[in-house]
A = this chain, B = another copy of it.
Amino acid sequence: MLKFNNQFVNSFINKEDFENMLHRADAAYDVLMSKSGEGNDKLGWLSLPEDYDKSEFEEIKKSAEYIKSNADVLIVIGIGGSYLGARAVIEALKSSNYNLLEKDTPQIYFIGNSLSPSSLNEIIELCKDKDIAVNVISKSGTTTEPAIAFRIFRELVNSKYSKEEAAKRIFCTTDKNKGTLKELADREGYKTFVVPDDVGGRYSVLTAVGLLPVAVAGIDIDSLMGGAYKALSDINVNKSELGEVLNYVAVRNCFYEMGKRLECFVSYEPRMAMFNEWLKQLFGESEGKDGKGLFPVSTVFSTDLHSLGQYIQESGSSLMFETVVKFNEFDSDREIGAEEGNLDGLNFLAGEKLSVVNEKARLGTLLAHTEGGVGNLVVEVERLDEQHLGYLIYYYETVCAVSGYVLGVNPFNQPGVESYKKNMFALLGKPGYESEKERLEKQLGL
C-alpha cells in the first residue's frame, strides 16, 4: 500500500554512512518495540489500531449520526493535536473547501486554536440561526485557547437551547477520569469520549480526538482504522514493510548528520496541505528539543514552486531535503481538450490528462531539485482514500518515533510548549504567578 523510494538521494549519501545509520534505525526500532526507551508511557498509539476501545468506537459513530441529524454546524474546539489530525483527515479525504461543498453533512468549524477575536467572532456570526453541536477536545480542560472558546460557545449553546437540549449538543473528548473538563462534563451531563493516558496529542488522531469530527464529515472511520491496522500488521507483525520505515529513518538522519536542518514535506495535492501541518507538529514536537532536530516545513507544489522554488533550486542544497507524498491513482481527473487555432500554444497537451501533467511536474521538479543538490525522498501511496490515509498516518507515526530515538531524544514529550504559556499566565495575572508577572513586565519595560 505504500513504498518508500530513496533511489534519487543515493548520490548524496555515502553508502557506508547509510548502512551504519540503518543499523542505528534498527536498534532504535527495537527500543520502540520493547518499550524500553524514554517516553514509553506514551506508546498507546502503537497498538491502537488493534486494541482500540470497540464499544467507544461504536459510540463515536452513534454520536456522529446524532450530530449529522441534529446540527447544521459542528464546532470543533481544540488546539495542536486536538485540532490538526481531524482537520488534516477531513481536508485530505473531502476537500480543503469542505465547508463550501454541497453535502449532507454539517459544516465543521475549528475554533479555540488561536486567540484572535476576529476569527472567533466570524464563526459565531456563521452560526447565527443554525443548529449547532460542539465537540470540545482537551485532555485537561485548562489549555487557554480552547478553554476560552468553550466558555463562549457553552454560553451560546445554553442561551439558544433548553438546558436539557444543550447538554445533548455538547460532546467532550477529555481525560477518562479527572480534570477540569471531565468534571465540568459530568456535572452538566455532557457526553464524554476519552483521550487515552498513553497517547500523546500529536499521536491521537485515531482516538476519539480525531475520529468524532472525522465521522461527522461523513468519512468511513472503519476503513481509516482498517488502514492503520494494515500498517501495524505490515510493519510490526509480519514486518514485510518494516524496511519502508527504517530506510526513511536512516536517510533523514543521514541528512541531519550531514548538516541539513529542514525537511520539506511536499504534496502535489492542495487538499494535503493540512496533512502537512499535522506532519509539522508530529515531527517538530517529537524531535525539536535539546538543540536537535530537523525543522519541518510544508509546501504544496506546483503552487509553491512559484514562491519558494527559486530558493530551493539555487540556495536549498546545504539546508534542506524534500519528502514527497505521491499518490498513484486519482478518482477525479480531467482531459485537456484540443483547441482550434491553438491560440494559447497548449495543443501539445491535447488529449493528456491533468493528473499526468501534474505527475510530469513532479518528476521534472525531482530532477531539477536533485540537480540543485536538494535530495528528494518519495513516499508512494496507491490512492488517497480512507484506508490508505489510515496506513499513511500509522506509517508516519512510526517513522517519527523511531527517528526520534535515533536522534537521541524523547519523541513523546514537549516541555518547551509550557514556556509561553507560563509567561502568558503571569502577564494575564493568573493567581499564583504574581512574582513572575513583575519580573516579566520589567523585562518588557512595562
Whether A319 and B361, one on each chain, are in contact in the complex, defined by CB atoms closer than 8 angstroms, is: no
From 289 to 320 in chain A, residues with beta carbon under 8 angstroms from any chain B beta carbon are 289-293, 295-297, 300-320
- Bound CA–CA A356/B282 (angstroms): 30
- Measured between beta carbons, the chain B residues less than 8 angstroms from A296 are 308, 311
Q: How far is the CA of A233 from the CA of B102 in the complex (A)?
A: 48
Chain B residues contacting A122 (CB-CB under 8 Å) are 95, 97, 101, 332
Asked if B364 and A420 make an inter-chain contact with CB atoms under 8 angstroms apart, the answer reads: yes
Q: Residue A427 contacts which of B144, B289, B313, B364 (CB distance < 8 angstroms)?
A: B364
Interface string of A271-302 (1 = CB under 8 A from B): 10000010011001101111111011100111
Give the chain B neighbours of A304 by CB distance below 8 A: 280
- A301, B270: Cα distance in complex, Å: 22
Q: Which of A45-53, A367-375, A392-400 contacts B (4 or more CB under 8 A)?
A: A367-375
Interface range on chain A (Cβ under 8 Å from partner): 35 or more
Q: Is the CB of B368 within 8 A of A117?
A: no
CB–CB A295/B262 < 8 A: yes
Within 8 A of B (CB), among A122-162: 122, 126, 141-142, 144-145, 147-148, 150-152, 155
A288-B311, A314-B288 known; A114+B270 contact, CB < 8 A: yes
A336 at the interface (CB under 8 A from B): yes
Contacting residues, chain B, for A444 (C-beta < 8 A): 363, 366-367
Contact of A307 among B280, B317, B355 (CB under 8 A): B280
How far apart are the CA atoms of A121 and B95 in the complex, in Å?
11
| Among B151, B414, B422, contact of A337 (Cβ-Cβ < 8 Å) | B151
Could you show 25 A-B contacts with beta carbons less than 8 Å apart? A79-B303, A97-B99, A99-B100, A115-B302, A122-B332, A142-B344, A142-B345, A147-B344, A147-B345, A180-B344, A183-B343, A261-B319, A262-B295, A280-B307, A285-B311, A292-B315, A295-B316, A295-B320, A302-B420, A310-B417, A311-B416, A363-B427, A365-B423, A367-B443, A369-B420
New A-B pairs, 20, CB < 8 Å, besides A113-B303, A142-B345, A302-B420:
A81-B306, A114-B358, A116-B268, A116-B271, A141-B344, A145-B306, A151-B346, A155-B339, A281-B307, A284-B311, A289-B310, A290-B315, A291-B314, A292-B315, A295-B308, A310-B415, A313-B420, A348-B431, A357-B428, A363-B440
